[in-house]
Structure 1
Amino acid sequence: MFFAVTDQAFVTLATDDVYCQGALVLGQSLRNHRTSRKLTVLITPEVSSGIRSVLSSVFDEVIEVDVLDSADSVHLALMQRPELGVTFTKLRCWTLTHYSKCVFMDADTLVLCNVDELFDWEEFSAAPDSGWPDCFNSGVFVFRPSLDTYNLLLQFAAEHGSFDGGDQGLLNSFFSNWARADIGKHLPFLYNLSSSSLYTYVPAFNHFGRDAKVVHFLGATKPWNYKYNLQTKRVMQDDTASGSFHQLPFLGLWWNIYSASILPLLEKLQKMEDSDEVACSVSELSIQSKPAKPIPEDERRKWEEGRMDYMGKDAFEHIKKKLDAFLH
């Protein structure tokens, strides 16, 4: 029997229309896996009215908040990610005091199964970061909304800033005892699996990766930066969006949800309102209805650069067929 829990929520943040595409897919993935918790998305004033109405069809709450920006260009430059300053806005999630407990998830995460068990964990629970495991990754964490905690975070940010210029550096400094105080607050890595990491421990990925519960599309290249073919239902790699072999199945899952559940909502709104804002938002994603014909020169260059389509035309069975045909 399904019981709704109304005083707990999954929370995400979208600071513009493009990141709303990720939030919509995340929200729909939680719906698809029958979460019993509320879904809340924090948005900034930059999000258009058309996209807000689409968000309302997926999320229980769409809450506008003012932008918080670290404006820390020096530390942000170290990561070559100047856009991450606005992630300080994530701190606003501690103001959702009508909930007793929440799980925050970045808009570039994707749920692969029901993860309601995350609410059994306490504040501040998070998974280790793949780049520096003694730090947690702030893309998924369990917290208890509190205005006292919120004000302490703001005070800490004003006095100490963030060692990376974004929310992750700030939160790791604020919850500085996470690495050593209580292993019971260390979420398994499978709750925040980096899709784009070039795993050096491939046997572990092959053994444990199939049990991943949440995938996180870390880095500057997001799922919506890839091209997707609606006819073949395949993600296409090109020169503008590179990724590791490991994340191709996850990208396919993201785009399958987008094309099946989110794109129809955007198209319906566009037809009803003839909204230029929505039309722009839809067109920003690279969707092709017909397969593009490969150019021989481009295909040769990709092979020479080591960028083969292992999941598609360059799969071993296809290469073997060509060799067999040539030999016989």
Structure 2
Amino acid sequence: MVTQGVGAKMLTALKKKFDQVVSVEEMDSGDAENLRLLDRHDLGITFTKIRCWTLTQYSKCVFLDADTMLISNADELFDREEFSAAPDAGWPDCFNSGVFVLKPSLETYSAILKHAADTGSFDGGDQGLLNTYFSDWATKDISKHLPFIYNMVASASYSYLPAYKKFGQNVKIIHFIGATKPWLVGFDSRGEPLVGNTESHTKSHLQLWWQIFSTEVKPLLVEHCEGGQTDYPFLRVEVGSNYSSNPPAPAAPPADSRGDWEKGSPDFTGTAAFNNILKKMDETLSAEK
């Protein structure tokens, strides 16, 4: 789906890759107060995504935000029912609306519009609106809870690194929520993203996005968008060759140190595992005897 903000040159390029490009009218929540609380005044326009319920030429759809990156086939999502989505990393009793399964229906579309008019959105964006409309998602049917691997926040490995080490190799869709969008990131001469102290796995995901863009997307845009580097500044970004196009592999578990314990971050799958602690206690007690 595209709005009138997408120019003719970009539309030509999109139609080369997508079976169907659907133009829809922009929608805005107009909820300045809640958007101010989020410090994200741009989110009001995300109401436009509810237009996906008007795509009645399809029996089922999987919606993906523009700041998601598919790194593995996820066709099995079409086996899920409406409304299926993954928990939000910030408030898990809410779903994140960056990836969800829906059944297009003009009746549902009208009902969501009425709900928007009557109730509004508690966050000023589409996520708050959809969470109140599909308000039983958290409690009614666990089969509609998509695993986090279908909507993994790119920075999640920072907050829960042990889980990333355990399950990261299974991730299928990465979501660049917040301000660190791949197309806004610059790179140094080594191909390292210029994002300050961002966690290393997030950097790897950013590099992967740019690897895909540079090899699969940029040549098409350059071909169809004459003067594109003027119209689209991100086409001028050059990345070094010091990275791979493969998804980042989980890091090996680190060895625990006293500092790790003092900081409250021991590796509970390695030397800090319960069985290893018991083993160490037994060895210590045996030595004392």
TM tier, shorter chain? 0.7 to 0.9
Q: Deviations over 1:232-273 (max 9, x none)?
A: 5x242156xx63322111111110110001111111123xxx
Counterpart of 1:8 in structure 2 is: none
CA shift, 1:285, in A, is: 4.8
CA distance in 2, matches of 1:132, 1:244: 21
| 1:258 correspondence with 2:249 | no
CA distance in 1, matches of 2:198, 2:117: 36
CA shift, 1:209, in A, is: 1.4
Q: 1:28-177, aligned counterparts within 5 Å?
A: 42-177=1-136
* Greater radius of gyration (CA): 2
Q: 1:225 touches 1:285 (CA, 8 Å); kept in 2? A: no
Aligned identity (percent) is 50
| SS of structure 1 residue aligned to 2:177 | coil
Unaligned runs of 5+ in 1: 1-41, 292-328
Counterpart of 1:208 in structure 2 is: 167
Q: 2:85 touches 2:95 (CA, 8 Å); kept in 1? A: yes
Counterpart of 2:230 in structure 1 is: 280
Specify the code of the residue in structure 2 equivalent to 1:105.
L
CA shift, 1:196, in A, is: 2.3
CA distance in 2, matches of 1:212, 1:166: 26
Q: 1:127 touches 1:191 (CA, 8 Å); kept in 2? A: yes
Specify the code of the residue in structure 2 equivalent to 1:108.
D
| 1:236 correspondence with 2:186 | no
Q: Deviations over 1:135-159 (max 9, x none)?
A: 0000000000000000000000011
How many residues end up aligned between the 2 structures?
A: 241
CA distance in 2, matches of 1:214, 1:102: 16
Specify the code of the residue in structure 1 equivalent to 2:194.
Q
CA distance in 1, matches of 2:239, 2:143: 48
Q: 2:65 touches 2:98 (CA, 8 Å); kept in 1? A: yes
Q: 1:224 touches 1:286 (CA, 8 Å); kept in 2? A: no
Q: For the structure 1 residues 147 and 281, does the alpha-carbon distance in structure 2 shift closer, same or farther, using more than 3 Å as the test?
A: same
Comparing both structures, which one devotes a greater share of its residues to strand?
1
Specify the code of the residue in structure 2 equivalent to 1:120.
D
Q: For the structure 1 residues 175 and 97, does the alpha-carbon distance in structure 2 shift closer, same or farther, using more than 3 Å as the test?
A: same
CA distance in 2, matches of 1:160, 1:206: 41
Specify the code of the residue in structure 2 equivalent to 1:161.
G
Q: Deviations over 1:151-193 (max 9, x none)?
A: 0000000110000000000000000000000001000011000
Q: For the structure 1 residues 228 and 209, does the alpha-carbon distance in structure 2 shift closer, same or farther, using more than 3 Å as the test?
A: same
Q: Deviations over 1:117-136 (max 9, x none)?
A: 00010000000000000000
Q: Deviations over 1:277-301 (max 9, x none)?
A: x33343235513679xxxxxxxxxx
CA distance in 2, matches of 1:67, 1:244: 35
Unaligned runs of 5+ in 2: 242-289
CA distance in 1, matches of 2:136, 2:129: 13
CA distance in 2, matches of 1:149, 1:137: 19
Q: 2:30 touches 2:124 (CA, 8 Å); kept in 1? A: yes
The two structures have a TM-score, normalised by structure 1, of: 0.70
Q: 2:53 touches 2:104 (CA, 8 Å); kept in 1? A: yes
Counterpart of 2:224 in structure 1 is: 269
The two structures have a TM-score, normalised by structure 2, of: 0.79
RMSD of equivalent CA atoms: 1.8
Counterpart of 2:145 in structure 1 is: 186
CA shift, 1:79, in A, is: 0.8
| SS of structure 1 residue aligned to 2:135 | coil
Q: 1:81 touches 1:220 (CA, 8 Å); kept in 2? A: no
